[in-house]
Amino acid sequence: MENFILENPTRLVFGRNTIETVGSEIGAKGCRNLLLVAGGGSIRSNGVYERATASLASAGIQWGELWGVQPNPTLDKALEGVAEARKRKVDGVLAIGGGSAIDTAKAIAAGVFLEDLWQAYEETVKIECALPVFVILTLSATGSEMNHFAVLTHQTERKKWGLGSRFFYPTVSIVDPSAQLSLPWEQTRNGAIDAMSHVMEFYFSARDQETALALDESLLRSIVVATDRLQQQPQDYASRANLAWAATLALNGVSGATMVGDFMTHGLEHTVSAFYPQVAHGAGLGVIHPAWIEYMEPTYPATFARWARNVWDADSVKEGTARMRSCLQRWGAATRLRELGVDREQIPAMAASIPPSRRKTKLKEMALADLEAILNLSW
């Protein structure tokens, strides 16, 4: 049982028709001139952009726009946003999108005050301030709407680093599950896998944390129930909302309280998608996490057995990972790295690209051979 501090300043506004409150929510925080950060344009076709900007305009808020944030968001795009934010002298950044747009917005919000943004991700410079970040979430997955993490990829260096800063908590996050009714299945599913993976990164580091273990099991089971329903009925509001709420809880401090967390699976996935940018984060996690579980079971068998029993009704960890992979297959997701186009010969280079400082986890100080073994099991 670990000591912890829970302090999450984000104001979460959750439910139907909450996008229409974005202008008044941001206005109440005193911001008048935003940089709006978005992806490839789906928010234009599903009406979210129009609803949001109408609300901003009626609240007298001005904004510029940065489009084209991609999955596995890049340093280059963030720097483009920093330049635009400086030019426009904005007083806040509004992400409309999923984790990529949010994490880019967080990087921009801090980056306007930094000479070299990437140094912060290399942890050689500390973030001391940032513009307020606002969010309209359109894809439940990363939990970034209510936490202090942001992931960024340096393409030429093939590095994908996650960074935590208390200045990365969004000031207000709007989660309107109806904005997700038109999501493609693959994005819904990959988001669900990402959320499950967040819960599991904490879960397996627990021993006597009965309350937290039971809570996390409830989140994992709920995510499977909601995702199964959405595969059949993508327009089901309740399932969208249940998945969205579980994904937020998965990484807003609640699922991980009393635990340290491990996050080696995320570290391995970040390396895979730094080498293979076409690999979606959730898809990579779905492949690596069962392999990590099989490899790590001996570190504390009781919690691994409990996971198999209480999440998958399985009598052993082997059966539990088999059921997890069946679930992924039912959802049409990959279960092996080779299905994602990863070349087995790249495994040593991928493992070696994780520096020793990022290999010490709660459960084990990982040697290069451990990382290679898990990637080989995943392959």
What are the residues binding a copy of itself (CB under 8 A)? 1-18, 208-212, 214-215, 217-219, 221-222, 225-226, 237-239, 241-243, 245-246, 249, 254, 257-258
In the numeric block, which tokens belong to residue 376?
């080989």
Task: Count CB neighbours of 210 within 10 A.
Answer: 11
Q: Which is nearer to a copy of itself, 81 or 132 (CB)?
A: 132
State the nearest-atom distance from the C-beta of 63 to a copy of itself, in Å: 24
In the numeric block, which tokens belong to residue 59?
């609240």
State the nearest-atom distance from the C-beta of 215 to a copy of itself, in Å: 5
State the nearest-atom distance from the C-beta of 118 to a copy of itself, in Å: 31
State the nearest-atom distance from the C-beta of 66 to a copy of itself, in Å: 27
Q: Are 101 and 109 in contact (CB under 8 A)?
A: no
Backbone phi, then psi, for 297, in 5-degree steps?
-45, -45
- Alpha-carbon Rg of the chain, whole angstroms? 20
Q: Which is nearer to a copy of itself, 11 or 158 (CB)?
A: 11
Q: Three-state DSSP class for 40?
A: coil
State the nearest-atom distance from the C-beta of 179 to a copy of itself, in Å: 14
Residues 6+ apart with CB under 8 A from 355: none
**92 bridge partner residues:** 34
Residues 6+ apart with CB under 8 A from 222: 242, 243, 246
Rounded alpha-carbon distances, angstroms, from residue 277 to 32, 196, 272, 281, 313: 36, 21, 8, 9, 35
Q: Which is nearer to a copy of itself, 8 or 329 (CB)?
A: 8
Q: Which is nearer to a copy of itself, 85 or 230 (CB)?
A: 230
Q: Which is nearer to a copy of itself, 10 or 72 (CB)?
A: 10
Displacement of CA 99 from its chain's centroid (Å): 6
State the nearest-atom distance from the C-beta of 129 to a copy of itself, in Å: 18
Q: Which is nearer to a copy of itself, 310 or 346 (CB)?
A: 310
Closest CA to 212 of 171, 168, 258: 258
Helix axes 185-203, 281-296, angle to 10 degrees: 30
Distance (Å, whole) CA 356 – CA 115:
27
**CA quadruple 79, 152, 180, 236: dihedral, nearest 10:** 180
State the nearest-atom distance from the C-beta of 321 to a copy of itself, in Å: 22
State the nearest-atom distance from the C-beta of 176 to a copy of itself, in Å: 9
Q: Which is nearer to a copy of itself, 7 or 345 (CB)?
A: 7
Q: Which is nearer to a copy of itself, 6 or 352 (CB)?
A: 6
Displacement of CA 148 from its chain's centroid (Å): 11
Q: Which is nearer to a copy of itself, 79 or 215 (CB)?
A: 215
State the nearest-atom distance from the C-beta of 193 to a copy of itself, in Å: 16
